[in-house]
Amino acid sequence: MNQVDPIRDIEEIKSMYKVLGCKSRRDYLLFKFAIHTGVKLSELLNLCVNDIKGSNDHIKLYWLEDHAPNIYIKLPDDLRNELLEYINEEGLKEDQLLFQSNRTFKGLSRQQAYRIIHAAASDLGMPHIGLTTLRKTFAYHAYQSGISISIIQKYLGHQTTYETMKFIGISTKKSNTTIALNL
């Protein structure tokens, strides 16, 4: 089995946005939501409108995973607005799947989702990109933004921080910590 990598370069993420956006708004939002939340693929493909909408008919400000109830993932305003526009334009009802097949109106299969992401990456000449890339990209950029590896570990449901570091492709040898107290 081939290992996939996170998308580390912000410009490559923007390029993926552009390619996916030209193909389909659904595909673009599938990718964008996934890399901003780190949601598990099984949850992503079964996400209903009411899973992301709050009681005020707006998109929820935070994403929460059931297994990590104390970790809140703030959704960017632009993503929230794009999701709401998409739901309204597609006329999606509260109990409908957010990312559904255009042909069958049922949930996307893993194979369809893989083809969507892999085709866009191939168009851009990006090797080693698959569905796990979405979760890895989230975790990598969370780590790069200063989120503790132990928090990311808990959110991803990993047993050890070593497993999380390996998952996102960060060498533990590169990690240096300096603590300087002046009490």
Q: Which backbone phi and psi does 165 adopt, to 5 degrees?
A: -60, -45
**Domain residues of the chain, as ranges?**
10-174
- Contact yes or no for 168/144 (Cβ under 8 A): no
Q: What element of type H or E holds 154?
A: helix 149-156
Is residue 1 very low, low, confident or very high in pLDDT (cuts 50, 70, 90)?
very low
* 182: pLDDT strictly greater than 80: no
Pick the residue with more confidence: 56 or 126?
126
The reported pLDDT for the residue numbered 90 is: 95
The reported pLDDT for the residue numbered 56 is: 85
The reported pLDDT for the residue numbered 55 is: 80
Alpha helix locations (H) across the chain? 10-23, 25-37, 41-45, 49-52, 77-90, 110-123, 132-144, 149-156, 161-168
For 38-96, the pLDDT digits (tens) are 999 999 999 999 999 988 889 999 998 877 889 999 999 999 999 999 999 999 999 99
Query: Model-level pTM?
Result: 0.91
For 4-41, the pLDDT digits (tens) are 999 999 999 999 999 999 999 999 999 999 999 999 99
The reported pLDDT for the residue numbered 64 is: 87
Is residue 172 very low, low, confident or very high in pLDDT (cuts 50, 70, 90)?
low
Please tell me the CATH code under which domain 10-174 is placed. 1.10.443.10
